[in-house]
Structure 1
Amino acid sequence: MTDERATDVAAPGRSEGPRRVGRIGLLTLAAALAAYLALSQLLVVVPVAWVMPLLRNAITQSAVLLLGAVRDAMGSWNVVSAVVAAGLSLVALRSNAGHRRAAGAVAVVAAVGLVLSVATSAALVCAARDAAGAWIPFAPAVPFSTTGDAPDETVTYATVDGQPIQADLYLPTPGSAPAPLVVSIHGGAFVGGSRGTNAYTTWLADNGYAVLDVDYRLSGVADHRWNTADADVACALTWAATNAQRYNLDLHRLAAFGNSAGGNLAINVANKINAGVLRPSCGSAAELPRVGAVIALYPAVDLTAFGTETAVGADAARQYLGGTPEQHPDRYAATDSAPHITGKSPPTLLIQGANDHLVLAEHTAAYAAALDAAGIPQRYVELPFLDHAFGTTELDTGAQVTRHLTRTWLEEYLP
């Protein structure tokens, strides 16, 4: 009898430990989610100029860019996460009598994250409507999900200095008329990245455009490719010209598409080809087709600024160009985009995140103004609260806006 009573008394004490651990775990989860939401949202409502001290350190800038990438990939799911964080914080507040002050602080942070998430998401939806003429209320459908199919064919378009360089070919449904061609150029700060299915490759093919998604030789500590990257892209175009009949391509309707470093190359290749000053790393300049239109996402058009403003940008620029702007002003002038604008430059669509913490929006806007001053058709679209590298593989709001704008641009300038 005594043993049974002892057991009955001890049982509640033994169960209190796991319950306490569970309550603390719930509070910790709510705190982590609330902190992510509040911090990531604060970074997009605070002007980029205010966080420049963080961007001058490689570690802190990388953390800012990572937060931005996660936030943009989550898209509308940030609001869902904010609601979950608020709910968890309220449950934690009620169940953690011993940690009420901490739970209250978490609830306040969660509320800030919720308010900011709703406000920024609503503003982005309205901005997308203004830019693309379409309501995009919730995107992506599934966070961190990639979109697009594998290429129809992978080709080695050249072997330069013993190094094979490849490209992926995405082809539309065969038709009687040759298909216009979009050359797609990946980003990666000139030192990384590669060709690969993204939010636009298969979509462009489904809309009647052939896509040549190209690799190019990358830079490193010992290899500075500032004078070969655009030549490699031009080399791919000589391959396309040689194989146009085989793949039923219309090289009289050619567009260049790129993001970040690829945006720089798309713009520079187009400007230089149309001006007749680009020499490809294979084939001949006579084979190069004229570029009829450019679409560039957050392009690094001002490498002189890129190489001085932020830590990650400066490191990439030094590897690409072999030194600082003070050491090699001629190289930076050769790779900046504005000096290559001529009366033959193609119509250019520029899409930029307003809160880009790597390629600052002010430089893309300045390039748009330079095109306008030269009488070149251009459109500059700045999307609020988006950081660098939005809309690459996920079908987020930025990618959907880019699709709408790209379709309209190509229909107008590659008729």
Structure 2
Amino acid sequence: MTDEQAADATVPDKAATPRRLARLALLAFAGVVAGYLVLGQAIALVPVSWEMPLLHNAIVQSAVLLLGAVRDALGSWNMVLAVVAIGLGLAAFRSDGRGRRPAGAVTGIAVVGLVLSSVTSAMLALAAHDEAGVWIPFAPAVPFSTVGDAPEETVTYATVDGQPIQADLYLPEPGPAPAALVVSIHGGAFVGGSRGTDAYTSWLADNGYAVLDVDYRLSGAADHRWDTADADVACALTWAAANAQRYHWDMRRVATFGESAGGNLALNVANKINASTLRPSCGSAADLPKVRAAIALYPVVDLAASGTETAVGVDTARQYLGGTPEQYPDRYAATSSAPHVTADSPPTLLIQGADDHLVLAEHTAAYAATLESAGIAHRYVELPFLDHAFGTTELDTGAQVTRHLTRTWLEEYLT
């Protein structure tokens, strides 16, 4: 080697540093993805009962719920992310001798994430087939994509204490016979949320059902709406009855449908109307139609349990009910669902995620047992690994199963 060549060899390659930084950035991204995959899948696989100490901290519980929401919304795409992370880890391992150890670690973690996500996806697909009779091998088609069309009309169905309360209408194609009506009730822990297009509103209309998607007055630190939320939904039903001829609705065929807090209201409104114990916040109880079917997703059926066993549940229940079960046992009993089950309760479909970290599956299963004891036609479906609020806007596996089960339930009980 000449002196000139030796001198050139000591000059650092200016392009090497940016390339190495780019590789490090990609490896860091792969590491984050791999870590998310393993943690998210581990939380899904570990029984919720083992994780209860974590749920006593509001920040930790919120993080767990957020992680579960992302995992469920991505669905089968978790496997794709794992393959990408493995590819990036292998590329870094082969190209950078000095960084082989972290690249190998990232690759190994990503492989574990791929195995776990493959197992949960396969078991969820099997459960979907067992419960709904359909194979859903890969869902959603596009992650984080919302589905559904805008409502045909928005109405103010009442003004109560100076506050206007609105509802959206999703209307089917006109037919020779009046359409059955489904009252859709949003979730949001009784303190948030609002009406809005989701995976079911316009889909129900496409299947021939009219949908009244209702708002109701929400609770807060100073306003505890435990005794008005179901009354507001009943108020919307009196408006529907008064306008049934205009919209061509058959008020002899009415169902309630709700998620989480809305699931609680869907059950309580149906049970209390059929038992003639619900007084609406507008109109007359005599105007209320009987409810022929109720459908509830991960419903808050037991406020005394859900409102005391986790940090977020405690905060929500105290805003909704104004205090603890020890302070207001009558309020907790009045808003829980089992006490309102009677021989007149409607056929009820319950759909629950087994990995719910806010509304534990055991409570929904216990409500199903109450229906069984009362001789009420019902079905309880528990989908493995899914956390709270699955299938709201994305057409993930949970939403697709819910669609199939809902269609079958309404065809049986609302025709």
Same-fold call, TM cutoff 0.5: yes
**Residue 337 in structure 1 maps to residue 341 in structure 2:** no
Correspondence for 1:132: 132
Correspondence for 1:179: 179
Could you tell me how far apart the structure 2 residues matched to 1:92 and 1:313 are?
44
Q: 1:274 to 1:21 in 2, by over 3 A?
A: same
Stretch moving more, 99-108 or 353-362: 99-108
Could you tell me how far apart the structure 2 residues matched to 1:392 and 1:317 are?
22
Could you tell me how far apart the structure 2 residues matched to 1:180 and 1:217 are?
26
Could you tell me how far apart the structure 2 residues matched to 1:44 and 1:355 are?
6
Q: Name the amino acid aligned to 1:139.
A: A
Q: TM-score scaled by structure 1?
A: 0.98
Could you tell me how far apart the structure 2 residues matched to 1:7 and 1:13 are?
13
- 1:248-287 to 2 correspondences below 5 Å: 248-287=248-287
- 1:374-393 to 2 correspondences below 5 Å: 374-393=374-393
1:288: how far off? 0.3
Q: Any idea what SS the aligned residue of 1:183 has? A: strand
Q: Name the amino acid aligned to 1:164.
A: P
Q: Name the amino acid aligned to 2:49.
A: A
Q: Deviations 1:30-85 (Å, cap 9, x if unpaired)?
A: 10010011100000000001111111100000000000000010011111111111
Q: Any idea what SS the aligned residue of 2:134 has? A: coil
1:118: how far off? 0.4
Could you tell me how far apart the structure 2 residues matched to 1:96 and 1:124 are?
39
1:160: how far off? 0.3
**Residue 196 in structure 1 maps to residue 196 in structure 2:** yes
- 1:1-400 to 2 correspondences below 5 Å: 9=9, 12-400=12-400
Q: Name the amino acid aligned to 1:33.
A: V
Q: Name the amino acid aligned to 1:93.
A: F
Q: Any idea what SS the aligned residue of 2:13 has? A: helix
Q: Name the amino acid aligned to 1:119.
A: V
Q: Deviations 1:321-345 (Å, cap 9, x if unpaired)?
A: 0001111101000001000000000
Could you tell me how far apart the structure 1 residues matched to 2:265 and 2:78 are?
33
Could you tell me how far apart the structure 2 residues matched to 1:117 and 1:365 are?
26
Could you tell me how far apart the structure 1 residues matched to 2:240 and 2:30 are?
54
Q: Any idea what SS the aligned residue of 2:296 has? A: strand
Q: Deviations 1:152-171 (Å, cap 9, x if unpaired)?
A: 00000000000000000000
Could you tell me how far apart the structure 2 residues matched to 1:6 and 1:92 are?
29
Could you tell me how far apart the structure 2 residues matched to 1:380 and 1:258 are?
15
Q: 1:10 to 1:244 in 2, by over 3 A?
A: farther
Q: Which consecutive unaligned segments of at least 5 residues does structure 2 have?
A: none
Q: Any idea what SS the aligned residue of 1:14 has? A: coil
Could you tell me how far apart the structure 1 residues matched to 2:202 and 2:63 are?
31
Q: Name the amino acid aligned to 1:36.
A: Y
Q: Is the 8 A contact 1:24 1:96 kept in 2?
A: no
Q: Deviations 1:342-375 (Å, cap 9, x if unpaired)?
A: 0000000000000001000000000001000100
Could you tell me how far apart the structure 2 residues matched to 1:7 and 1:203 are?
72
Could you tell me how far apart the structure 1 residues matched to 2:15 and 2:92 are?
19
Q: Any idea what SS the aligned residue of 1:172 has? A: coil
Q: Deviations 1:303-330 (Å, cap 9, x if unpaired)?
A: 0001111000110000000001111101
Q: What stretches of structure 1 move > 3 A for 4+ residues in a row? A: 4-12
1:141: how far off? 0.6
Q: Any idea what SS the aligned residue of 1:309 has? A: coil
